[in-house]
Amino acid sequence: MRADWQSKTFEDCIEKVTYTTKIQRKDFLDAGAFPVVSQEDAFINGYWDGADDVFRVETPLVIFGDHTKVLKFIDFDFVLGADGVKLLPPKEFLVPKFFYYQLQTAELDSLGYARHYKLLKELEIKYPDRVEQHRIVAILDQAFDGIATAKANAEKNLQNARALFESHVQSVFTERGEGWGEKRLKDVCEKITDGTHQTPKYFDEGVVFLSSKNVTSGKIDWENIKYIDTAQHLEMHRRVAPRVGDILLAKNGTTGVAAMVDRDVVFDIYVSLALLRSLGEVQPRLLLYFINSPVAKHQFNKRLKGVGVPNLHLQEIREVVIGFPHNLREQDAIVERLDSLIAGVERLESLYQQKLTALDELKKSLLHQAFSGAL
């Protein structure tokens, strides 16, 4: 901190405020007269029509998510959402956006879903005169606008790369050539079953146990796993014994996402995963590409059961129709082409992800410079 900067405790920097009525998440409207701002990541979280519940903003302020640590700069009238929203109107000696930017430099420990406001109260706020604060804010505003634009472009390019691949996969399974036929999945699979329907007892080590959470990316996540003991494993293995080349399909929650067993590991699966094992008429990787394709997802979506958490039943999975060339060499050629395309997409995703990480680091660096007096 430069010698001409001052310092005050966090609580000496904020005005007391009277809260208006907080609206529960379940009551948010999809459209309405007034925006609802809560502690969720999205900037606007819903809408509300009751004018009596509006918090009128005369001077911009900061919202802090007591559970989530999310910070938002608010310069418009809004309605408060649910529990955990803290209103932080800075005192007159602080430019509101300067205060908002400085709070972003606070490295607060994560307390899970516990409240984090007590950590904010331990902060010291350092500040120069208001003219210098305005100068710093102007520099950061301009820099962050550029960073936001660059991030939006990178994220759009990420989406475009994935969409282009999915479009190609869709064309493979819809624009069929000569020598193609179609069958139901139950007719091309040796096995279509799911894992144990009993919630197991977990241990710190033992036999690997996977659920639908482990296939949400389209590849098996072997890192964030749970373990069961040998006794439970032996019982579950009598029902289904997964092996390399099997396909695991999420059928509860994040439905319609599949991954192939790519390593020779003894493990068991939960009921949220379906296991499909090809008979050999359809090459396993071609079967995987089909299951993850928009063509299959359209069929899955028509067959979802239940209210709330979506659920694919095994009998519905078995009835899904796959189109495929009967010639295995043609299947291999399609798989080779799709493998090459997805490898290219993954390289692009890696590059764009590196760019997004670099932009986040640039933002942190600028904030550090700004509040160490080096900007």
Residues 169, 293: Cα–Cα separation, whole Å: 6
Q: CA angle 70-13-44, nearest 5°?
A: 25
Q: Mind spelling out the 3-state secondary structure of the chain? A: CCCCCEEEEHHHHECCCCCCCEECHHHCECCCCEEEECCCCCCCCEEECCHHHEECCCCCEEEEECCCCCEEEECCCEEEECCCEEEECECCCCCHHHHHHHHCCCCCCCCCCCCCHHHHCCCEEEECCHHHHHHHHHHHHHHHHHHHHHHHHHHHHHHHHHHHHHHHHHHHHHCCCCCEEEEEHHHHEEEEEECECCCCCCECCCEEEECHHHHCCCCCCCCCCEEECHHHHHHHHHHCCCCCCCEEEECECCCCCEEECCCCCCEEEECCEEEEEECCCCCHHHHHHHHCCHHHHHHHHHHCECCCCCECCHHHHHCCEEEEECCHHHHHHHHHHHHHHHHHHHHHHHHHHHHHHHHHHHHHHHHHHHHCCCC
Residues 74, 45: Cα–Cα separation, whole Å: 13
Give the pLDDT score at 308: 53
The CATH number of 6-128 is 3.90.220.20
Give the pLDDT score at 114: 76
Give the position of tokens 């962050």.
144
Give the pLDDT score at 311: 78
Identify the CA nearest to 189 among candidates 288, 295, 262.
Answer: 288
Spell out the residues 6+ positions from residue 175 whose beta carbon is closer than 8 angstroms to its own: none
Neighbours of 265 (CB within 10 A): 15
Strand partners, 115: none
Give the pLDDT score at 113: 73
The ranges assigned to domains in the chain are 6-128, 130-179+327-375, 180-323
Work out whether strand 180-184 and strand 321-325 pair parallel, antiparallel, or are unpaired: antiparallel
Query: For the CA atoms of the chain, what is the radius of gyration?
Result: 27
Give the pLDDT score at 26: 92
Identify the CA nearest to 66 among candidates 112, 9, 23.
Answer: 112
Work out whether strand 258-260 and strand 124-127 pair parallel, antiparallel, or are unpaired: unpaired
The CATH number of 180-323 is 3.90.220.20
Number of residues that this document lists for the chain: 375
Identify the CA nearest to 120 among candidates 5, 6, 41, 11.
Answer: 11
Give the pLDDT score at 161: 86
Give the pLDDT score at 84: 87
Task: Judge contact between 192 and 317, C-beta under 8 A.
Answer: yes
Residues 100, 170: Cα–Cα separation, whole Å: 46
Q: What is this structure's pTM?
A: 0.70
Give the pLDDT score at 278: 96
CATH topology of domain 130-179+327-375: Helix Hairpins (1.10.287)
| Tokens, residue 332 | 């291999």
Domains 6-128 and 180-323 share a fold: yes
> pLDDT tens digits, the chain, 375 residues: what are they?
577 899 999 999 999 999 999 999 899 999 999 999 999 999 999 999 999 999 999 999 999 999 999 999 999 999 999 878 999 999 999 999 999 999 999 988 888 777 888 999 999 999 999 999 999 999 999 999 999 999 999 889 888 888 888 999 999 999 888 899 999 999 999 999 999 999 999 999 999 999 999 998 889 999 999 999 999 999 999 989 999 999 999 987 666 789 999 999 999 999 999 999 999 999 999 999 999 999 998 898 887 765 555 678 899 999 999 999 999 999 999 999 999 999 998 898 889 889 989 999 999 999 999 888 777
Q: How far is CA 232 from the centre of its chain?
A: 32
